[in-house]
Amino acid sequence: MRVAVIGAGALGCTFAALLDRAGHDVTLVARGAQLEAVSASGIHLNGGFGDWQTTKLVAVPRLETPPTPGGDFDLVFLAVKAQDTATAIAEHGGAIDGTPVIVVQNGLDGVDTVSKSLVDSSCVGALSIVAASYLEPGSVRVTTPATTYIGRGTGDPDAEVRRIEAELGDALRLTAIGNFVGAQWTKLLVNQLNALPAITGLSVQEVVADRTLRLIMTRSMRETVRVGAATGIRFGSIQGLGNLRLRFFARLPVVLGQALPARFASRMGPVPNPGSTLQSIRRGQRTEIDFLNGAVVRQARLVGRRAPVNETLTALVHEVEKTGVFFTPRQVADAVAGAEAGTSAGSSAGSLR
């Protein structure tokens, strides 16, 4: 297959390298130092999916619009951060409209946004549990080689989703799932792993090992499930979690609920995973937080509720984005307690230090 991968972050590069290894013709859209390094010597992928130096993969700064719509590729992976979707579509829409697009993205909006913009493409959503870290230009380490779930809508997987699973399932560890819309919410819950590393500078495993931070994470997860339930969503099944288990979790006291973040961290294995949000902070980039914890806050408002834990974590990540200075677990705990007690979280984030 001729495949384009738009987005040369850790996950985009992982997919591109795995597709190259499986013998597909891969064109990766990259920028700056990443473009230079990949053009010179390909992508070096190591870690959980094995060691691979790409051989055929080509890196380009942008995709050219072909004379025939959708003519250059059989499939496109859009693997940009949620906040970069509109820009990526504005830049590459002409080149990819008409070609099936797999949107690999966190948050709730990716597939919808792309489907509305690319009228001639059929779009499939992808939720990846793979944890990968960008090491240096051209080099990525997979710290957790996990499943990527594909699907769309609320029904069972359709024929196209099944076909993609059959063609690329082995190479990329793809699994087709039903109730994709609900699964985006379950992934939003998994992405509660992201904020605290970005706020404290610790890995996901270190955050979960710290009792104070683990309890905060449990609260933010519980709040996410409660908000989802209030919007009427039925959580989709990924990572052995589904609607019933999550509704049960949302009713548990926080001390019992801690088992959930602990389970996520233990499945991640021993190699420290910073998560994608801390990686953005380290690279001085804007994070995806408004589409993770921020999405929970917006969804809560839509049903007339508040989500003070998610609100606080969003505000603290924005503070670290601005200052580059991490918070201590105690400072985070004070901010969350203040917000839950009704003190404004966002406005006090800066004054906590």
Ligand X SMILES: CC(C)(CO)C(=O)C(=O)O
What does the binding site for ligand X look like in residue numbers (CB under 6 A)?
106, 129, 131, 190-191, 193-194, 273, 275-276
How far apart are the C-alpha atoms of 181 and 152, rounded to whole Å? 7
CB of 329 to ligand X, least distance (A): 19
128/139 with CB nearer ligand X: 128
237/273 with CB nearer ligand X: 273
CB of 67 to ligand X, least distance (A): 37
34/287 with CB nearer ligand X: 287
- Closest to 188 (Cα-Cα) out of 246, 144, 274: 246
CB of 205 to ligand X, least distance (A): 11
CB of 275 to ligand X, least distance (A): 4
Q: Which backbone phi and psi does 288 adopt, to 5 degrees?
A: -90, 10
CB of 310 to ligand X, least distance (A): 16
73/180 with CB nearer ligand X: 180
CB of 273 to ligand X, least distance (A): 5
Is residue 294 within a helix (H) or strand (E), and if so which, with residue range? Answer: helix 293-302
CB of 239 to ligand X, least distance (A): 9
DSSP 124-136: EEEEE--EEEEEE
129/215 with CB nearer ligand X: 129
Q: Is 148 helix (H, G, I), strand (E, B) or coil?
A: strand
Q: Which two tokens stand for residue 249?
A: 């979790």
- For residues 190 and 239, the answer to whether their CB atoms sit within 8 Å is yes
CB of 120 to ligand X, least distance (A): 30
Q: Which backbone phi and psi does 294 adopt, to 5 degrees?
A: -65, -35
236/275 with CB nearer ligand X: 275
75/193 with CB nearer ligand X: 193
How far apart are the C-alpha atoms of 57 and 23, rounded to whole Å? 10
Q: List Cβ<8 Å contacts ≥24 apart for 161-168.
A: 161/124, 164/75, 164/100, 164/102, 164/124, 167/1, 168/19, 168/22
How far apart are the C-alpha atoms of 74 and 71, rounded to whole Å? 8
Q: Letter for the amino acid at 113?
A: T
DSSP collapsed to 3 states, 178-206: CCHHHHHHHHHHHCHHHHHHHHHCCCHHH
152/187 with CB nearer ligand X: 187
Cα separations (Å) of 147 from 127, 164, 171?
Answer: 9, 14, 11
Cα separations (Å) of 66 from 77, 97, 284?
Answer: 17, 10, 34
CB of 25 to ligand X, least distance (A): 28
273/312 with CB nearer ligand X: 273
